[in-house]
Amino acid sequence: MTDPRPGDAFQIGDVLNNTYRIEALLGRGGTSDVYRARNEISGRLIAIKVLKAEFSGNDDFLVLMTREEEVREIRHDAIVRYSENHRTSEGLVYLVMDYIDGPGLDAKLRQGPMPPEDLLILCKRVSEGLKVAHDRSIVHRDLSPDNIILRDGDPAKAVVIDFGIAKDTNPGAETIVGNEFAGKYAYAAPEQLSGNTDARSDIYSLGALLLANFRGEKPQIGNNPMEVVKNKAMPLDTTGVPEPLKGLLDRMTAPLPDARFQSMDEVLRYIAGDETEDVLSDATVVVAPPKTLDPAPPVTQTPAAAPPAKPTKPDTLKPKPAKTGGGSGGILAAIAAVVVIGGGAAAWFGGLFGDAAPVLPKAAPFALVIADPENGAASASGFVPSAQMQETLSARVRDLGGEASLTLASGDIAASWGDDVLSVLDDVDDLDTWQLSLRGNEVAITGSTSDADLLDRLTSKYPDEWPGALGGTIDVALTSLFLDAVEVEYLLAQYADCGPLTQASHPGPVGYGPEDAVLISGKLAGAATVAALQEAIEDIAEDRFVVIDAEVLNPTLCLVENYLPQAPKSEIEIVFTEGVSGATVPDGRFLVGQNPVIDLMIPESVTTGYISASILDVSGNVFHLLPNNGRPDNSVETLRQGRNGKVPLRVTFDLDKPDRNEGELAFEIDDSSLGKSKILVLHSYAPLFRQMRPRQESAVGFTEALSERSADELIQSLDSWIFTIADE
């Protein structure tokens, strides 16, 4: 519970809608508070989420609140049940929902690690609920420990809450909404940083929060947007997570959406154990040979199940998901199986054989995957027949900058298997990307190279001249020395969040040559998008120099950019001045604590029509400088006051101006406005809007009204200027 305050929306004992009596404040958020209340008619406990007063008139938050209400159509015990939105006589908007009695998963996180078996039960429960939501095209977008409650403390009774509304839209908040990023950085899927969200994003977030609760600590993903973007592109570290939970989390949290489970159905099938086809599936078992041994003290080491192979990049830009299997008895059943067979597996590694050489357990199938992918570290995982090969192969992978996870075992393989595999590895090592997938004596070579001679040598040798008893297939693609501009254009379309992006370097008809730089221009909504786009292009550009020469705005400015009418610029000029010192600020860069004074210079040629001026700030709001309720007449004739020639028009004022009226806006900068804002000036034949707009409104409301009037061809010119607010 949270202690109430005098300024809270509701007080203990308040009765809403003659029905709901407030009993306790459950928690505070950036934009809303949650209360426990009791229906005085039925006696049933409910929860009430109320938007704070300053957001109840904000269209963005009302849309999100309405979206959350629509979740009431979903009927599943793992999804919180919603009723409907209400508005008090004071204008406060609140949403009625079920009250779930139990701890949040965030409280469990603070208490420390959770047992793997509880997390698997929790995963199944939440996946079943989200499947129903996804089937109705509803994606949560903000799955995190604080949005899952364990009814009565039981993981099997977990309930997902908080659909559709975020905690804060101000810069620096952990949760952001709108057309851009939605989710908490710590648990959000990588694609959410660029505004792309679908059901697979929820799968990633669920996997990430399960991993956090297994470790008992929140993920550390970086201290700034650049670090966040970089870390999000890397696989989550599941070292130390026991199987079968590890295999499940690895598939749920693959950085590339196409490499993850594609639906909650697939997650549930994996848990149930219906898939068995993967080279390194959970069906891989280690069977001890039938031999009676003298007892000895048990040792807890067991051979680790090999993780799924990391997907390689195909010819297309979107990688195909790698198959992953599950044990035929299911993951939940496998937990019990581990307890039963663990002691037997440990015995093989516990020195129970006296002076005789240890007999390695048998792996069926005997599987090994070695890979050096384009967008990831080299790896080797699976079984090897000797300590010598284990050491040699591990060293080879480390030399490539990767890690190996190899388990000693015996199997149905040739005696020369280890040397034969290393011989094949020598042949493919010069490929640009490659993977060896082995299952017993069968090998599949896949990869790519831009060296046609190397490809000819390999394809002339394989598949006819395999070393030893090996045999199999080879599929190596020949890649071009040139980077196709279409590939770059595909990425630009994915990351364009503030209008179209262009390839300013103008590649030739065959694309970018090996020495050509890739130069991108346009506008983007934030630094995180710039970093993500830079990394995405560098992934396909190889050693080419990549420059993102884009103007970085913010989501509000980008939203408005998409709705601005197509109108020419005018000769109107702008002059920025600092109100206290009177100094001009040519670059429009102001500091916290300063008082921006803004003058427009109306040119001699502009003598008729109407001038409208607004500020679009970083918080998602639009402030109308002219006209407004205190300064309604914005006709050029009135503004000129009989003056000819170039005439100054002040639109923001000195705070110390003694005779300043209500319509003459003045302000001092605080740290809530850090970033870029835009001055928008439109010259129209008639008043721009049919009715006076409020002095402050949301960007969504403004753009809707602006786009409606743009069709009337009223606008003669449109000018805009960026001014920046910094803290030093």
- Main-chain dihedrals φ then ψ at residue 600, nearest 5 degrees: -100, 140
543 vs 336, more confident: 543
Model confidence over 368-423: pLDDT tens digits?
999 998 767 888 888 899 999 999 999 999 999 888 888 888 899 999 999 999 99
Share of the chain above pLDDT 90, in %: 43
pLDDT of residue 182 exceeding 60: no
- Main-chain dihedrals φ then ψ at residue 578, nearest 5 degrees: -90, 125
Contacts of 388 (CB under 8 A, 6+ apart): 418
CA atoms of 44 and 211, how far apart (whole Å): 35
On whether the CB atoms of residues 275 and 315 are closer than 8 A, the answer is: no
- Please confirm whether the linkage preceding 365 is cis (ω < 30° from 0): yes
Model confidence over 245-257: pLDDT tens digits?
999 999 999 888 8
Lowest mean pLDDT among 462-476, 492-506, 691-705: 691-705
Model confidence over 145-159: pLDDT tens digits?
989 999 999 999 999
pLDDT of residue 719 exceeding 90: yes
Lowest mean pLDDT among 89-93, 431-435, 440-444, 651-655: 89-93
On whether the CB atoms of residues 447 and 428 are closer than 8 A, the answer is: yes
Amino acid residing at 92: L
CA atoms of 612 and 628, how far apart (whole Å): 9
Q: Are strands 379-384 and 403-408 parallel, antiparallel or unpaired?
A: parallel
Res 382: pLDDT? 85
Confidence tier at 1 by pLDDT (50, 70, 90) = low
On whether the CB atoms of residues 154 and 100 are closer than 8 A, the answer is: no
Lowest mean pLDDT among 155-164, 277-286, 476-485: 277-286
Res 286: pLDDT? 36
Average pLDDT over residues 594-616: 95
Average pLDDT over residues 279-286: 34
Res 152: pLDDT? 92
pLDDT of residue 281 exceeding 50: no
Model confidence over 88-127: pLDDT tens digits?
888 888 989 889 999 999 999 999 999 999 999 999 999 9
- CB atoms inside a 10 Å sphere around CB 159: 21
Res 218: pLDDT? 86
Lowest mean pLDDT among 63-72, 209-218, 383-392, 470-479: 63-72
Average pLDDT over residues 693-707: 83
Lowest mean pLDDT among 99-108, 182-191, 491-500, 528-537: 182-191
On whether the CB atoms of residues 167 and 29 are closer than 8 A, the answer is: yes
Tokens of 714: 């009223």
Res 710: pLDDT? 65
Q: Are strands 715-726 and 589-591 parallel, antiparallel or unpaired?
A: parallel
- Provide the phi-psi class of 91: left if phi over 0, else alpha when psi is between -120 and 50, else beta: left
Confidence tier at 506 by pLDDT (50, 70, 90) = confident
Res 470: pLDDT? 94
Lowest mean pLDDT among 192-196, 275-279, 545-549, 695-699: 275-279
Confidence tier at 64 by pLDDT (50, 70, 90) = low
Q: Between the ranges 88-92, 181-185, 433-437, 658-662, where is the mean pLDDT highest?
A: 433-437
Share of the chain above pLDDT 70, in %: 81
Res 450: pLDDT? 83
Res 23: pLDDT? 93
Which CATH number fits the domain 559-726, given the four candidates 2.60.40.1120, 3.40.50.300, 2.60.40.1930, 3.30.420.40?
2.60.40.1930
Lowest mean pLDDT among 308-317, 505-514, 606-615: 308-317
Res 638: pLDDT? 95
Look at residues 162, 83, 76, 163 and name the one whose alpha carbon lies nearest to residue 127: 76
Which CATH number fits the domain 15-98, given the four candidates 1.10.10.60, 3.30.565.10, 3.30.530.20, 3.30.200.20?
3.30.200.20
549 strand-pairing partners: 521
Dump strand ranges (E) for 653-727: 675-684, 696-698, 715-726
Contacts of 165 (CB under 8 A, 6+ apart): 31, 32, 49, 61, 64, 65, 67, 68, 177
The CATH number of domain 102-272 is 1.10.510.10:
yes
Q: Between the ranges 183-197, 307-321, 657-671, where is the mean pLDDT highest?
A: 657-671
- Main-chain dihedrals φ then ψ at residue 11, nearest 5 degrees: -115, 155
Domain map of the chain by residue range? 15-98, 102-272, 485-552, 559-726
Res 4: pLDDT? 66
- Main-chain dihedrals φ then ψ at residue 54, nearest 5 degrees: -70, -15
| Length of the chain as a residue count | 728
624 strand-pairing partners: 614
Res 590: pLDDT? 94
On whether the CB atoms of residues 94 and 36 are closer than 8 A, the answer is: no
Calculate the alpha carbon distances from 699 to 325, 690, 692, 714 in Å.
Answer: 48, 18, 16, 21
Quote the mean pLDDT of the chain: 80
299 vs 72, more confident: 72
CA atoms of 104 and 314, how far apart (whole Å): 42
pLDDT of residue 642 exceeding 90: yes
Confidence tier at 171 by pLDDT (50, 70, 90) = very low
Average pLDDT over residues 574-600: 94
Model confidence over 536-573: pLDDT tens digits?
999 888 888 999 998 888 777 787 777 777 889 999 99
Tokens of 459: 């394809």
pLDDT of residue 339 exceeding 50: no
Look at residues 392, 346, 342, 383 and name the one whose alpha carbon lies nearest to residue 362: 383
Amino acid residing at 324: T
